[in-house]
Amino acid sequence: MHDTNALSDAKIEKLIMKYGVEGYGLYFACVEIIAGNLTNENITFELEHDAEILGHKFQIDTLKVNDMMGYMIALGLFEINQITKRVSCEKLAKRISSNLIKNPQLLKIKKEIQEDMRSNEKTQEVMSQTKLDYIILDNNKEKEKKKDSSLSLITDILNCWTDNGLAKHSLTTIQNNIKPKELKILKSYPVDVLKGAIANYATVCQGEGYFWTWDGWTLLQFISRGLINFLDEADPLTRFKAADSEAEEDKKYDDNLKKLVERVEKEEAAKKHGKN
């Protein structure tokens, strides 16, 4: 009942990798028990022995027998009959040569099992394709969801940009030109934080008393180059305020001019007084 190339079977190799020769021996022992019990009255290809009997018979711990049998079923070396709940070996039924079977009932069962196996293969194929279709559908839905989310974010930020009196853009222009890196930057901050940065930028560009030379940025340029500089945490309204030294220079100039005027006026007055 052993195949000469059994050791090269991938499922058998996995069984040996996990349980060694002990697993290999238990598998073929079970196959032999099933095959040895085939009679005119017993043609079910089922294993009547439970884990306790097998453990006692081969001197293996019952729990380990359970583990090994479960792994064999998972590998597809055995199956579970859903009606009797017993371990069965449809593979054995499929491989018994028809010219070796004389019992007509056994031939009939072998044929039924082979038909069931072909039907199961087709069912599995359909189920696999259906599962694949669902995965593709779910992925497409997820992509559409992300796309909708991105569009909503871009629209919200563009509206804020426009409301603050900054360079005007169409939504289509932003959609077609925004780069993944720029979109990633937007998504890394809460919307209210982004709007706060835009408001700060507008204040610095449009307000008095601020020093900033790049007031012609587009929205995309602002996102990639300047956003981080105008976040509230960067304190841009203080950072870009006109330097106090410039104000002091202006005051000093005004004071000097005032003193010069006063001195000229005094000299003119003194000249007039001298003539008199």
Phi, psi of 241 (to 5 degrees): -70, 145
Task: Examine residue 45 and state whether it is found in any structural domain, yes or no.
Answer: yes
Task: Examine residue 76 and state whether it is found in any structural domain, yes or no.
Answer: yes
Beta strand segments in the chain, E: 46-47, 79-80, 87-88
Mean pLDDT across 57-86: 84
Q: What is the CATH number of the domain that holds 59?
A: 1.10.10
- In the prediction, which pLDDT does 99 show? 43
| Percentage of the chain lying above the pLDDT 90 cut | 15
Mean pLDDT across 27-50: 70
Mean pLDDT across 4-19: 80
- In the prediction, which pLDDT does 213 show? 66
- In the prediction, which pLDDT does 205 show? 86
- In the prediction, which pLDDT does 275 show? 61
Q: Which two tokens stand for residue 162?
A: 């426009």
- In the prediction, which pLDDT does 164 show? 92
Q: Which of 15-19, 49-53, 214-218 has the highest mean pLDDT?
A: 15-19
Query: If you ran DSSP here, which 8-state letter would residue 67 be given?
Result: H
Mean pLDDT across 213-219: 77
Task: Examine residue 73 and state whether it is found in any structural domain, yes or no.
Answer: yes
How far apart are the C-alpha atoms of 271 and 268, rounded to whole Å?
5
Tell me the torsion sign for CA atoms 30, 33, 38, 42.
Answer: negative
Task: Examine residue 49 and state whether it is found in any structural domain, yes or no.
Answer: yes
Higher pLDDT, 258 or 187: 187
- In the prediction, which pLDDT does 92 show? 66
What is the residue-averaged pLDDT of the chain?
A: 76
163 has a pLDDT exceeding 90: yes
- In the prediction, which pLDDT does 100 show? 44
How far apart are the C-alpha atoms of 222 and 203, rounded to whole Å?
14
- In the prediction, which pLDDT does 97 show? 47
| Percentage of the chain lying above the pLDDT 70 cut | 64
Q: What percentage of the chain's residues is helix, strand, coil (to nearest 5)?
A: 75, 5, 25
188 has a pLDDT exceeding 70: yes
Task: Examine residue 194 and state whether it is found in any structural domain, yes or no.
Answer: no
Alpha-carbon dihedral angle through residues 20, 24, 26, 29, given to the nearest 10 degrees = -160
Secondary structure (3-state) at 85? coil
Taking the CB of residue 28, how many other CB atoms lie within 10 A of it?
14
Task: Examine residue 68 and state whether it is found in any structural domain, yes or no.
Answer: yes
Taking the CB of residue 67, how many other CB atoms lie within 10 A of it?
15
- In the prediction, which pLDDT does 199 show? 94
Instruction: Give the residues across from 46 on adjacent strands.
Output: 88
149 has a pLDDT exceeding 90: no
pLDDT digits (tens, 9 = 90+) for 255-276: 667 777 787 778 777 777 766 5
Higher pLDDT, 41 or 185: 185
Residue 51 banded pLDDT, cuts 50, 70, 90: confident
1 has a pLDDT exceeding 60: no
Exposure of 201 in the CB half-sphere (CA atoms within 13 A): 30
- In the prediction, which pLDDT does 56 show? 84
Order of strands, sheet of 87-88, starting from the edge strand that comes earlier in the sequence: 46-47, 87-88, 79-80
Task: Examine residue 71 and state whether it is found in any structural domain, yes or no.
Answer: yes
- In the prediction, which pLDDT does 36 show? 72
Task: Examine residue 173 and state whether it is found in any structural domain, yes or no.
Answer: no
Total number of domains in the chain: 1
pLDDT digits (tens, 9 = 90+) for 224-261: 888 888 999 889 888 888 765 455 556 666 666 777 77
- Tell me which residue range forms the domain holding 33: 6-95
111 has a pLDDT exceeding 80: no
Tell me the torsion sign for CA atoms 34, 35, 36, 42.
Answer: positive
